[in-house]
Amino acid sequence: MKLDPTKMKDWQVAEAAEESLRPAADLIRELGIVDGEWDAYGRHLAKVDAAKVLRRVGAGRRGKYIDVTAITPTALGEGKTTTTLGLVEGLGRLGKRVIGCIRQPSGGPTFNIKGSAAGGGLAQTVPLTALSLGLTGDIDAVTNANNLAMVALNSRMQHERNHDDAWLAERGLKRLDVDPERIQFRWAMDFCAQGLRDIEIGKGGRLDGFACESGFYITVASEVMAILAMSADLRDLRERLSRIVVAYSKSGAPVTTRDLEVDGAMCALLVNAIKPTLMQSLEGQPVFVHAGPFANIAIGQNSVVADRLACALGDYVVTESGFAADMGYEKFWNIKCRCSGLKPDAVVLVATVRALKAHGGAPAVKAGLPLDPAYTTENLELLEKGCDNLLAHIDIIRRSGVQPVVCLNAFYTDTPAERDLVRRMAEKAGAAFAVSDHWLKGGEGALELAEAVVQACDAPNGFEFLCDLSEPLADRIEKQVKEVYGGDGVDYSDEASEKLARLQADPEIARLPVCVAKTQYSLSHDPKLLGRPRSWRLPVRDVLVYRGAGLVVPVAGEIKLMPGTSASPAYRRIDVDVETGKVKGLF
């Protein structure tokens, strides 16, 4: 059956392709994975025990390692996942043994505005319904592990309030004396539920928990998810979970999951979640799906485990970073690559004419509303002005020692003159360039991109980290603002300045990587500053520490860890065909 994405919705393309999907067992055999190293989840999904595979074949790297990132996006996104899948399919068309690595979609965006994260058109991960609606349960496991920690904390606070030290000692407990004003952890739910951002719990009698202020964040923003993405194996996961600080005592001492004796049970909930899920592209290439998105306050990458597994099994591995190069690639470059020990051979920078016009001053792109005609008619002046943002992201990637491949993700409204202008701007900046029509044509439409990436992988690069972890935290934050974002410096609130000084005095924390939390819609902290902002400073209002994940998080601006649901969410269009049981309306 010929699939035409111009006449079909993404879910219809995915559904029509299901009849020709390859059995997971066939992909497993081609990858060289043996019995005992994988478990089937139906006909088309499999969980792979990466630890067993790597013990047998060795953790040494075999494949060329490619990261896909993007320019600063509009509210609609610019197609990183679609490009990732298109590149996987294009490399497959060139006869390469290629593996894709992407993140699992969050239920919040899937049922809200953005939709799933499967890709689109003829560049998708399938089966779409399984991917979008829970997959093999990893996000549920993260939700449960997170909430078990909260259950343990609130229960402990209740019992310490209601009983004396002798009662506690009889049960093998030591008083933790948690300060209810300094609780650091929250409950998790994988929906966009703005009404649960700030709540009060424990209202009732003395047996109804400890009454205090609390709240929810979306599961993919949980430190537990960040730990899943960054852990090397189950042992590392177990150790990181034990270091999570859930609160502070009244004397200022950290209260950890280890103190609550809940860390082992949390790990038990995640034993299966540490194993990547094997899926496939529409053209039958293997794709590992693991960990979840959220690059504001976490690293926003698929897992270290999946990437290391893929690099041991494939000749080419295509992974993806969340948001734009200032957020996703920077964290890939300076955090994820430190954890994994892998360094990229090539970096693809995705751009669209739509986003470049937005940065050039076109009316704002708003999710759920029609595009302004400026986006669908030729306008070279807007486009050229917006290319300032593209050049900034080229510079970011070059700062890491890698020459990027700029990929213009083709839209049918692009004109030849517009595409030629972006090509000239990219090549003038020293980047390779390719137009990719993977959404419409799949791997065939991505051949130009695939060939450019193969060539980039064969070229030497001088990849190096931005900073040494021995440098003071303040110096590293300043360098990131100046050399990555293009700002003039950092301004700290009094609270943030005091916290940073305390953190620097702790030798373990002082050497942790920096993970800046800011908006994804600008190189700066202000989403209204589009293009390539100049003469601005980053205002840091707080500095958080994720001891489990191993991150110091300067917070710039108001970052919502629980997104809100829009007035026109995707769930209004999702339904089930009651005759066949098939889900329709996903995108």
Q: Which CATH number do you get for residue 265?
A: 3.30.1510.10
pLDDT tens by residue, 182-239:
999 999 999 989 999 999 999 988 999 999 999 999 999 999 999 999 999 999 999 9
364 and 325 both lie in a single domain: yes
**Tokens encoding 468:** 């040494």
Model confidence at 297: pLDDT above 70: no
261 contact partners, CB below 8 Å, separation of at least 6: 152
89 and 104 both lie in a single domain: yes
Q: Is 80 a catalytic residue?
A: yes
- What pLDDT does residue 525 have? 94
Among 17, 130, 232, 295, the one annotated catalytic = 295
Among 411, 433, 536, 587, the one annotated catalytic = 411
315 and 444 both lie in a single domain: yes
Choose the weakest-confidence range: 51-65, 94-108, 555-569.
Answer: 555-569
Where are any strands of DSSP class E within 481-547?
Answer: 490-492, 538-546
pLDDT tens by residue, 340-379:
999 999 999 999 999 999 999 999 888 777 888 988 999 9
Q: Is 411 a catalytic residue?
A: yes
- What pLDDT does residue 150 have? 97
**Tally of domains in the chain:** 3
What is the residue range of 168's domain?
138-269
pLDDT band with cut points at 50, 70 and 90 for residue 1? low
Tell me if residue 472 falls in helix, strand or coil. coil
pTM, whole model, 2 decimals? 0.94
Residue after which a domain boundary falls, among 269, 303, 323: 269
Q: Is 323 a catalytic residue?
A: yes
DSSP 569: -
Q: Which CATH number do you get for residue 550?
A: 3.10.410.10
Model confidence at 96: pLDDT above 70: yes
Q: Is 482 a catalytic residue?
A: no
Q: What is the rounded (10 degree) CA torsion for 138, 140, 144, 147?
A: 110
> Does residue 562 lie in a domain region?
no
Among 69, 74, 81, 82, the one annotated catalytic = 82
102 and 207 both lie in a single domain: no
> Does residue 254 lie in a domain region?
yes
Q: Is 499 a catalytic residue?
A: no
Among 64, 93, 103, 532, the one annotated catalytic = 103
- What pLDDT does residue 502 have? 95
Share of the chain above pLDDT 90, in %: 80
Q: Is 145 a catalytic residue?
A: no
Among 38, 185, 323, 332, the one annotated catalytic = 323
Q: Is 528 a catalytic residue?
A: no
Are the C-beta atoms of 298 and 229 separated by less than 8 Å? yes
Rounded Cα gap, residues 549 and 243, in angstroms: 8
How many other C-beta atoms lie within 10 A of the C-beta of residue 41?
16
Among 47, 64, 80, 243, the one annotated catalytic = 80
Element (H, E) at 40: strand 38-41
Q: Is 82 a catalytic residue?
A: yes
245 and 201 both lie in a single domain: yes
Among 47, 64, 96, 114, the one annotated catalytic = 114
Q: What is the mean pLDDT of residues 11-16?
A: 86
Scanning 360-481, the segments in alpha helix (DSSP H) are 380-399, 416-428, 438-441, 447-458, 473-480
Tell me if residue 25 falls in helix, strand or coil. helix
Element (H, E) at 146: helix 138-162
Scanning 314-379, the segments in alpha helix (DSSP H) are 330-331, 337-340, 353-359
